[in-house]
Amino acid sequence: MSKETQSFGPPTPCIMCEKALAYLEFGEEKAKFEDCINNANNFKIIGGYGSSFDGFVYEAVVCDDCMDKLIQRGKVQVISYME
């Protein structure tokens, strides 16, 4: 994957289905906002004390289709809503 291709989407695909994802574009300049992914979300995994990954911070992406399945199967819970 070329560096130019990577700049259009997150560096990793959906962790569930491996679908490639793209950042949204905004405004007349079509600037890409790296935290805004089209039909997907990114999240952090923070290795805590007791884990072999203690001290490491990871980022992953899950697409909306897979997120919906995870919620329906009770593997992801809503804990709050931000407006």
Residues that bind Zn ion (CB under 5 A): 14, 16-17, 19, 63, 66
CB of residue 19 vs Zn ion: minimum separation in angstroms?
Answer: 5
CA 23/CA 56 separation, integer angstroms? 25
* Residues 41 and 59: beta-carbon distance below 8 Å: no
CB of residue 13 vs Zn ion: minimum separation in angstroms?
Answer: 8
Nearer to Zn ion, 54 or 59 (CB): 59
Nearer to Zn ion, 15 or 46 (CB): 15
CA 64/CA 70 separation, integer angstroms? 10
CB of residue 70 vs Zn ion: minimum separation in angstroms?
Answer: 9
Strands 31-37 and 23-26: antiparallel
* Residues 21 and 40: beta-carbon distance below 8 Å: yes
Nearer to Zn ion, 15 or 31 (CB): 15
